[in-house]
Amino acid sequence: MTSTPVYFVVQEDIVLLDLAGPAEALRIANHYVPGRYALHYCGPQQEVQSGLQGLYLSRLAPLPQSLPSHALVVISGQVNARHALERPDRQALIAWLARRAAADGFGLMSVCAGALMLAAAGLLGGRECTSHHSCLEALRALAPDARVLENRIFVESAGLWTSAGITAGIDLALYLVARDCGARVASAVAREMVVYMRRAGSDAALSPWLDHRNHLHPGVHRVQDAVLREPAAQWSAQGLAELAHTSARHLNRLFAEHAGCTPMDYVYQVRLTLAKELLRETRLDLERVAERTGFSSAHHLRRVWRRHEAGPPSAVRAGP
Does the pLDDT of residue 196 top 80, yes or no?
A: no
Strands, E assignment, the chain: 4-9, 37-43, 48-49, 56-57, 61-62, 72-75, 107-110, 128-129, 147-148, 154-156, 160-163
What pLDDT is recorded for position 165? Answer: 79
Res. 211 pLDDT band, cuts 50 70 90: low
Q: Which residues contact 187 (CB under 8 A, 6 or more apart)?
A: 198
Task: Name the pLDDT band for 190 (thresholds 50, 70, 90).
Answer: confident
pLDDT band at 9 (very low <50, low <70, confident <90, very high): very high
User: Which of these ranges, 54-63, 196-205, 258-267, has the smallest mean pLDDT?
Assistant: 196-205
Report pLDDT for 236.
Answer: 96
More confident residue, 155 or 82: 155
Q: What is the pLDDT of residues 77-86, one digit of tens each?
A: 998 877 788 8
Q: Which residue has the higher pLDDT, 80 or 64?
A: 64
Which residues in the chain are classed under CATH 3.40.50.880? Answer: 4-193
* pLDDT for residue 28: 97
- Predicted pLDDT at 178: 87
Residue 296 has pLDDT above 90, yes or no: yes
pLDDT of 14 higher than 90: yes
pLDDT, residue 199, reads 58
Q: What is the pLDDT of residue 207?
A: 57
DSSP 8-state symbol, 1: -
210 pLDDT tier (thresholds 50, 70, 90): low
Q: Is residue 225 over pLDDT 90? A: no
- Residue 264 reports pLDDT greater than 70: yes
CATH topology of domain 4-193: Rossmann fold (3.40.50)
Angstrom CA distances, 110 to 121, 143, 152, 311, stand at 13, 15, 14, 31
Q: Quote the pLDDT of residue 158.
A: 86
Per-chain mean pLDDT for the chain: 90
pTM of the model: 0.69
> Higher model confidence: residue 210 or residue 257?
257
Average pLDDT of the residues in 12-38? 96
Lowest mean pLDDT among 13-22, 126-135, 309-318: 309-318
Per-residue pLDDT, 166: 81
CATH of domain 208-316: 1.10.10.60
Residue range 58-67: mean pLDDT, rounded: 95
Label the pairing between strands 72-75 and 107-110. Answer: parallel
Could you give the CA distance from residue 224 to residue 243 in angstroms, rounded to a whole number? 10
pLDDT at 319 (0 to 100): 53
Q: What is the mean pLDDT of residues 215-232?
A: 87
**What's the average model confidence in pLDDT over 159-182?**
91
| Sequence ranges of the chain with CATH classification 1.10.10.60 | 208-316
To the nearest whole percent, how much of the chain has pLDDT over 70? 93
- Give long-range contacts, CB 8 A cutoff, 24+ apart: 51-55: 51/13, 51/14, 51/15, 51/16, 51/78, 51/79, 52/16, 55/16
pLDDT confidence tier of residue 20, bands split at 50, 70 and 90: very high
- The C-alpha atoms of residue 165 and residue 133 are separated, in whole angstroms, by 7
Please compute the mean of the pLDDT values over residues 21-42 and round it to a whole number.
Answer: 97
